[in-house]
Structure 1
Amino acid sequence: MHTQKTYSLDEAQKKLEHYCAYQERCHKEVVEKLRNMRMIPDAIDVIVVHLIQNNFLNEERFAKAFVLGKFRIKKWGKNRLKQELKRKDISKVIIDIALKEIEADDYLETFHALAEKKVESIRETNSFKKKKKLADYLLYRGWESPLVYDAVNRLIQ
């Protein structure tokens, strides 16, 4: 039979300090990790408070890092970023603060570059189907509808 390791409060705390130092985490991820380690709710509370007090865990810092990373690397729009942060139980106030980290010029530049790159790769001859494919792609990535439909109509005649 496979037994799971049990952790003392200090061991779990050290393990979670490393977990948070390695990469920015949100509260939900930390609590989930502690639950998987079979920690009792009181111990989870003590450890989370310790991590926050010692600046290992900071929801605003996590949200900013998440937004900038996903925007730069995966080219996600604001709708997708908001949706993913809500899924991680980040408050609306913090989400708004994090989204302000994206420069308006960078945002539009990234959007137009993404749209132009995608339109080149679509091998559809029917212009309606081509427009739909481009719009679906951009909307899935979380770009705002007015931006998407302007680009679709501008890039595909």
Structure 2
Amino acid sequence: SVAVNISPLQLLERSFVDTVRGVLKSTGLSPHLLELEITESTVQTHVQARETLAQLHELGVRIAIDDFGTGYSSLASLKDLPIDRVKTDRVFVTDMLASERDMALLGNIIEMAHVLGCSVVAEGVEELAHKEKLQSLNCDCLQGYYFSAPLEAAGIPEFARAAAQR
């Protein structure tokens, strides 16, 4: 799959859905393999953004909320929008080992997202203890320097080969 960050301005463009449809057609990428990442605040203030997300979801494109938990309307976002995945903000992972409150909050975010049918990605995994604790909380996917630093496109094939051999 391919995940792409989308700006608020892109979601407000009336032609954005047609652009995505055209890219899917020209590349042959199946819509369910495209995940568009948006921030919480993007959809809280713009009705057009919500309509665009609904149209994209109808195409089969997956929608993820990035940096979840840093905005003001997290619960409403999950309840009212066609969200497939929640990516928790790294601050929760960074502080979870030292703070029982952060650990409890992160566990509740994961549980709530699952109840609403969303998978969860924890960003900011930097050490084995983070990985183990998040796995015990049933987090679906982990992301961070523990696994790899950000890669240029040219480095992805080698990373994938090495990961497949582990």
TM-score w.r.t. the length of structure 2 is 0.22
Structure with higher RCO (Cα < 8 A, 6+ apart)? 1
TM-score w.r.t. the length of structure 1 is 0.23
More strand by share: 2
